Amino acid sequence: MRRAASVSAHGRPAPRGHTVAYGGLILFTVLLYVRPNDLLPIGTFPIVKIMTIGTLVAFFVERLLMGGPLSVLPRPFKYLLALAGFVILSIPLGLDPSNSFTAFTDIFLKILLVFLLMINVVTSFRRLQLMIEVTVLSGAFVAVVGVSDFIQGRNLVEGRATGGVGGIFGNPNDLALAMNVLLPLAIGLALSRPSPFTKLLYLACAALFVLTIFVTYSRSGFLTMVAAGVFLLVKIGRRYPAAWAAGTLLAGALFVSSPARIFTLFQGSGNDTAASSATARWDLVKRAIEVAGGNPMRWMFGVGIDNFSIVSIHDQVTHNAFLQVFNEVGLPAMIFYTLFLFSVFKITGAMSERYRKARGYRQVWLTAIIIQTSLVAYAVGSVFASVAFLWYLYYPAAFAVCLQQLLAHAERLPAQREVTSRVWYLRRVQH
Query: What are the pLDDT digits (tens) for 294-336?
Result: 788 888 999 999 988 888 776 677 788 999 999 999 999 999 9
Q: How many folded domains does the chain comprise?
A: 1
Residue 96 banded pLDDT, cuts 50, 70, 90: very high
**Domain assignment of residue 263, given as a range:** 8-426
Q: Distance between CA 160 and CA 219 in Å, rounded? A: 12
The reported pLDDT for the residue numbered 270 is 47
Q: Is residue 1 part of a domain?
A: no
Residue 278 banded pLDDT, cuts 50, 70, 90: low
Q: Distance between CA 252 and CA 250 in Å, rounded? A: 5
H-helix segments, 153-241: 172-192, 196-215, 219-237
Q: How many CB atoms lie within 10 A of CB 113?
A: 16
| Residue 130: exposure state from Cβ atoms within 10 A (0-12, 13-18, ≥19) | middle
Residue 62 banded pLDDT, cuts 50, 70, 90: confident
Task: Report phi then psi at 335, rounded to 5.
Answer: -65, -45
**Contact present, 349 and 371 (Cβ < 8 Å):** no
What mean pLDDT do residues 115-140 have?
94
Q: How many CB atoms lie within 10 A of CB 192?
A: 20
Q: Is residue 431 part of a domain?
A: no
> What are the pLDDT digits (tens) for 339-354?
999 999 999 999 998 8
> What are the pLDDT digits (tens) for 374-410?
999 999 999 988 899 999 999 999 999 999 999 887 5
CA angle 400, 402, 404 (to 5 degrees): 70
| 86 has a pLDDT exceeding 70 | yes
Q: Distance between CA 251 and CA 83 in Å, rounded? A: 39
| 416 has a pLDDT exceeding 70 | no
Q: Is residue 2 part of a domain?
A: no
Spacing of C-alpha 7 from chain mean position: 28
pTM for the full predicted model: 0.86
- Nearest CA among 300, 340, 295 for reference residue 321: 340
| 266 has a pLDDT exceeding 70 | no
Average pLDDT of the chain, as a whole number:
82
The reported pLDDT for the residue numbered 46 is 78
Q: Is residue 3 part of a domain?
A: no
**Contact present, 328 and 122 (Cβ < 8 Å):** no
Partners of 425 in the beta sheet?
none
Q: Is residue 311 part of a domain?
A: yes
Quick one: CA dihedral 411, 342, 31, 190, positive or negative? negative
> What are the pLDDT digits (tens) for 4-29?
333 333 444 445 678 899 999 999 99
